[in-house]
Amino acid sequence: MGRRKKEPAEAHRSRIAQAAAALFARRGLGSVTVEEIAREAGYSKATLYVYFRGKEEIVAALTLESMRRLRDCLSSALVRGEGIRGRYNAVCEALRRYQEKDSFFFGLALREINIDWESPDTLPVEREIFAVGEEINGLMGRFLCEGMEAGTFRPDLEVLPTVFAFWGMLTGLMQMAASKEHYIEKAMGLSREAFLAGGFETLYRAIAKEEGTR
């Protein structure tokens, strides 16, 4: 522990957050206590409170990490694909991989973002979460505008509402594919991958400009 005391505060915060993430992923956010997080990380409860106000701030720190991962995932996908359709496909594939690789962090990125800056209970990290969320909206909004300017997407799309609707449908589709995989295979005769491919195509057609009007 003597060596630990010499480590920067961020190292301690990271160790605690990683321990919490492991517990949350196994048991869910609601059933894990601060005492258990401290024990998993190798700290006393009192020491944990030196680095975090409590469980809520730990969850917020993990949410920020999940949002940063999502931003980086989307940013990379948008420069990897060729053309509007290729970039759309790259975004869908990147999100699918993120959700399948780490469903816990993917789920955190879908949590409600606090914007009540006047509340005394607002955590400093929540401003950072909001800022990263705005970066994500900006990335997808610019992509949508580029698609409209190129004549690939419908010209009547309202950018931010469409971004939110698209995100909601896309993430809902992936979560449905994960939770209903057995039903999809038995009732539809489709693999998870085939179901998602069809869903991605349906969502694309919802925002794409009709062929005859281009």
Per-residue model confidence (pLDDT) at position 46: 96
Whole-angstrom Cα distance, residue 208 to residue 203?
A: 9
DSSP letter for 188, please: I
Give the pLDDT confidence of 127-172 residue by residue, as tens digits: 999 999 999 999 999 999 999 999 999 999 999 999 999 889 998 9
Nearest residue to 32 via CA among 64, 58, 63, 60: 58
Place of tokens 């940063």: 68
Share of the chain above pLDDT 90, in %: 80
Is 71 a residue whose pLDDT tops 60?
Answer: yes
> Please, is 21 exposed, middle or buried when counting C-beta atoms within 10 Å of its C-beta (0-12, 13-18, 19+)?
buried
- 16 φ/ψ angles, rounded to the nearest 5 degrees: -65, -45
Q: Which domains does the chain have, with CATH numbers?
A: 1-52 (1.10.10.60), 55-213 (1.10.357.10)
**Exposure string over 70-86, b if 16+ CB within 10 A, otherwise e:** bbebbeebbeebeebee
Q: How confident is the prediction for the chain on average, in pLDDT?
A: 92
Per-residue model confidence (pLDDT) at position 214: 44
